[in-house]
Structure 1
């Protein structure tokens, strides 16, 4: 130690000077540092591998799956006689992706990070994955290029091609736009592309004629008519089971069917003349990939509402209170949920099936459960319920959403004619 030259305090504070000093005086061996860095890097690459590694005794080989977007299943089986060789192949695979990825590699990394940090739900993750498979097929020219090779022109032609191929409306185009924004923003942060995606979209010119104009559905397709509702009500009451009464409850509460199926007994607050339902969770559907690489659908209850406005206390009328009391009688000792059969929660499809059978029996055109929710919103607005209260009951943050997407005319033609007659009586 006596032979080591003195170093000033100011030099020690400079990290680069410390490193130079250590190297020059043989305190630090660069080869050892590089090897340690490589080991750590390899460990990180192995951690990125989301498929199990197993030993197949019959084949006498170590095996795993490697993600491969160009394959039909999205992954391929890899095998090696030695585990070390298999791990080396995995490391080389992820190193190649990191150094020069394709658009699918950037997408999966971007999506994984967004989900990891809770920026998106499992449902949204599944929707993005489905949209990616739809808009970014493996044989598309842009998908076969490295992301560093993709130009503004490539991206413009890709977007226009998808709009034409899939006959996208302005609304459905947003799904494609979200993915492209996310992928290229992430790629830009990693210095993989020179494209500034916000500038690209600002300068992108898309004629309104390029989009498909979706034919607006008729009122009859969107809501149940005023002459149909009494028939449905009587039929559901006669059936007198949890599934049918659940459908009827939607007619008088406007709940989403996912909210209905996730209700628990403690969410219901009843007195003789008043009542509330606390909506604070919902049924969700999404897909996951298991250890063998197979995708499977998951149905579960999410312990929070669809949105901040969705967490609400729905005010009940006297008829809704009667329905709920009957539901409590039919399921007096629930295991966990308000709607159960044989100890199992009744899922969305259970209520949808009951509604379908009801419409078939009454010879009424079937409209999905969500159309009952639209019928509820329409009924409240037609009967001059305050807009603030309507938006609250529906779980919307603004009445404009209710009016734009949920309000339809469900009056009979005779009723419509009477309204026109009254309006024009002074002429």
Structure 2
């Protein structure tokens, strides 16, 4: 059963989804009801935002729809679109202007928006609402690999030292550091020591932590719950924070939250992102460190220690091991390179 935090997020996502669908034709709502049990509220909201962007493109850029509103576009209109129209949309996404603001989309964003269109068209086609599926004919954009940023061993130590002792913080930051350092160290040690996502971290409740078995229950992407195990360093950091947490009176409605903000409310994803930025900028200025980089750091170290990509995928909560393999392919290359002289073809002779 989803915890309080997850339920709150689902409600907010559902409200936002309804607001978007109110601006789109009724058959779009049918599609989203149809995929409700197959996608999380976050995924459905993302799809809705992307579908709305597509309809806005049709109304602003396509001559046959110009002057109309998204809600006026019929199923017949959608069924008459061809693959070429969708390809034009993908080209448009790279750079466009709306209400005086410039928007750009990289390869990943364009791929995501095409994925949303494919889900949309596939549902309509499968349920005999349209006679053809042009989105299926459009190739997914090729994603060019990027170097994965991670913390090196010495950088992990410097980062956690900054959290614990306030190294490299500004005077203004130092003034608040003593009040939050125990909490901050618990959060960031937990993330570095388990590889959990920032959304999973802020969603943890007090009773989700099981010190007897060295594990914490988190709600993964997709809404399912899973136990993640932690070691002695995480235990020590969490124990110190639990002692401090006993003396904090949370705001009503946030009593179950493990990590509390200065306002005594559940920490937000944005708050943790700002924590990571604050502590990393002074000690690792050459790298742009985010919560996801902490996750990548843990995955890297776990793979180095075990060499088991399936274990890493399971611990990180990846539904597809290929996602994990893609992120750690460079380490496979290192492993292959390291054994290049292990196989000896001929016995060496003494001259």
The interval holding the TM-score normalised by the smaller chain is: 0.5 to 0.7
- Residues 1:277 and 2:220 are matched in the alignment: no
State which of 203, 206, 212 in structure 2 corresponds to 1:265.
206
Q: Relative to total residues, which structure has the larger strand share, 1 or 2?
A: 1
Q: What is residue 274 of structure 2 aligned with on the other side?
A: 353
Q: Which has the higher helix share?
A: 2
Indicate whether 1:147 and 2:69 are aligned. no
- Partner residue in 1 for 2:259: 339
- Shift of the alpha carbon at 1:363? 4.4
Gaps of 5+ in 1: 1-66, 76-103, 282-304, 410-415
Report the count of equivalent residues: 283
Is the Cα contact below 8 Å between 1:258 and 1:348 reproduced in 2?
yes
Contact 1:243 1:346 in 2 (8 A): no
Larger Rg: 1
For 1:304-323, list aligned pairs within 5 A: 305-307=220-222, 311-323=225-237
**Aligned twin of 1:109:** 29
Query: How does 1:18-417 map onto structure 2 within 5 Å?
Result: 104-106=24-26, 108-114=28-34, 118-137=37-56, 138-141=59-62, 143=65, 144=68, 146-149=74-77, 152=80, 154-167=81-94, 169=107, 172-173=110-111, 175-179=113-117, 181-183=119-121, 185-186=123-124, 189=127, 193=130, 195-197=131-133, 200=134, 204=137, 206=139, 211=141, 213-219=142-148, 222-239=149-166, 240-271=181-212, 275-279=214-218, 281=219, 305-307=220-222, 311-332=225-246, 335-341=255-261, 342-364=263-285, 365-384=287-306, 386-405=308-327
CA-atom RMSD, angstroms? Answer: 3.7
Confirm or deny: 8 A CA contact 1:185 1:196 kept in the other structure. Answer: no
Per the TM alignment, residue 366 of structure 1 is displaced from its structure 2 partner at its CA by 2.5
Kindly indicate whether the alpha-carbon contact (under 8 Å) linking 1:278 and 1:313 is maintained by their aligned counterparts in 2: yes
Structure 1's 175 and 315: CA in aligned 2 closer, same or farther, altered over 3 A?
Answer: same
Cα 1:363–1:161, aligned 2, differ >3 Å: closer, same or farther? same
- TM-score normalised by the chain length of structure 1: 0.56
The structure-2 alpha-carbon separation of the partners of 1:232 and 1:139, relative to structure 1 and needing over 3 Å to count, comes to same
Q: What TM-score do the two structures reach when normalised by structure 2?
A: 0.67
Per the TM alignment, residue 214 of structure 1 is displaced from its structure 2 partner at its CA by 4.3
**Distance verdict in 2 for CA 1:155–1:106, change over 3 Å:** farther
> 1:276·1:316 contact (CA, 8 Å) conserved in 2?
yes
Deviation at 1:68, TM superposition (A): 11
